[in-house]
Structure 1
Amino acid sequence: MFAPRETALIVIDVQEGILPAGDGPRQQAAATALDGVVARLADLQVRARAAGATLIHVQHDAPDDHRLAKGTPGWEIRRELTPQPGERVIHKTTCDSFLDTDLKPALLERGIRHVIIGGCMTPFCIDTSVRSAIAHGFDVTLVADGHTTCDMGGLTFEQIIDHHNTVLGWFGTATNKVVLKMAADAL
């Protein structure tokens, strides 16, 4: 087990406009699921701060015509997860939180060896960032009930989340691995 001082909680893309707009039953179900994820991540943030873990917020900076366009209301980090003074916000423009960002140096300068990851959009930014964290030499705890997405193609968001929990729970290298934990047990 890693000491809190070697651990960072990374919350990825939990932004006001993260889910596509819509008022159908499936969009409402996804919005309700997102609210649950936000509540669990907010509780995890409180516990991480109390334990002395590093908190890092990742915010997607999308082009002007996107719902997450930088500077728009949809781009803002959800108020329940507002960064506190001294907490780093990493801005990214791709699914990979490490690609063309200063995330890795920020982690290394703090002596971080283990990252806890939660947030949004499971098949894109969560999947890619978990795999990238392993490739960059970090152990990962994926918060199994702390990431979400929307329905895509013929798959429901629940199926997508279950699939990624299964696949990523088996992912790793000879030296680094992914473990899945529920938010209540992630720290």
Structure 2
Amino acid sequence: MAQKPALLIIDMQNDFASAHAVLPVAGAQAVITPLTQLLSLFRGKHLPVFHIVRVHEPDGSDVEWFRADLFKDKPFAVRGSHSAAVIDELTPVPGEHLIEKVRMSAFIGTTLDLMLRTLGVNIVVVGGIQTPNCIRTTVFDAMAFNYETILVDDATGAQTKEIHEANVLDMKNIGVKILHAADVGPWLDSR
């Protein structure tokens, strides 16, 4: 079977990753440069790119129960708002896909799996924020859906280096390939 990768960029939105974020994720700023490198690489090779964004209804009716109070105090990622949009540095271009989600995994309640299969994608390359939550759940679901899964270590971030590294080790232990952004180009060329 021919191998076809796609890039999944998770939650790199104004509310989480911009300089004026409502709920800033520690480590988000550090992953912008590696993500722009990956994005350029995938665009240059005309490979599929998916921007996965968390969005919520303005009334918070689709927010997880454990984040309901937080949302009441600081509404975040409200559908249609500038805050929910992808940060300027990674703005999608025509031909790239934007997938909205309301849970941590990019696969839960979305069309991501259907779209990947329709495009003939069987390898996902994952980056974004944050490692123990949306990255990890997306990666585990990708493995469960039988996608070869690549985590780009320096293009993912978490609250602390220790949290990030512990979660990367867990993902590596289930068979996820761990690469650095600089290694993705040579890896793609070897396919």
**Shorter-chain TM-score range:** 0.7 to 0.9
1:15 touches 1:74 (CA, 8 Å); kept in 2?
Answer: yes
Q: Secondary structure at the match of 2:117?
A: helix
For 2:44 and 2:169, how far apart are their aligned partners in 1?
30
**1 CA distance for matches of 2:184 and 2:45?**
12
Distance 1:62 1:142, change over 3 A: same
Partner of 2:79: 70
Alignment partner of 1:38 out of 26, 32, 40: 32
Three-state SS of the structure 2 residue aligned to 1:74 is helix
Counterpart check, 1:114 vs 2:112: no
CA distance in 2, matches of 1:140, 1:160: 20
After superposition, the Cα gap between the structure-2 partners of 1:110 and 1:83, relative to the gap in structure 1 and judged at 3 Å, is same
Task: Give per-residue Cα distances to partners, 1:102-133, cap 9 Å, x unaligned.
Answer: 00011001110100000112111000000000
The aligned counterpart of 2:161 is 158
User: Structure 2: 5+ residue runs without aligned partners?
Assistant: 59-70, 186-191
- The equivalences for 1:90-101 within 5 A come to 90-101=99-110
2:53 to 46, 59, 67: 59
Find out whether 1:12 has 2:10 as its counterpart: yes
Checking the alignment, whether the CA contact within 8 Å between 1:141 and 1:186 is kept in structure 2 is no
1:105 and 1:117 map into 2 onto residues whose CA distance is 17
| Offset at residue 73 of structure 1 (A) | 2.8
Separation in 1 of the partners of 2:22 and 2:117?
38
Describe the SS at the equivalent of 1:186: helix
Distance 2:87 2:9 in 1: 11
1:63 to partner: Cα distance: 4.2
The code of the aligned residue for 1:42 comes to: T
The letter of the residue matching 1:7 is: P
CA RMSD of aligned residues (A): 1.9
Q: Which residue of 2 aligns with 1:182?
A: 180
1:72–1:102 CA distance, 2 compared to 1 (3 A): same
Amino acid at match of 2:152: V
Query: Partners in 2 of 1:89 and 1:73 — Cα distance?
Result: 15
For residues 33 and 183 of structure 2, what CA distance do their matches in structure 1 show? Answer: 15
Within 1, Cα distance between the matches of 2:28 and 2:10? 13
**Structure 1, 37-46 or 70-79: larger mean CA deviation:** 70-79
User: Match of 2:33, SS?
Assistant: helix
3-state SS, counterpart of residue 185 of structure 1: helix
Percent of aligned pairs with the same amino acid: 27
| TM-superposed deviation, 1:90 | 0.6
In structure 2, C-alpha distance between the alignment counterparts of 1:86 and 1:21, rounded to whole Å: 29
| Deviation, structure 1 residue 81 | 0.6
Give the deviation of 1:52 after TM superposition.
2.3
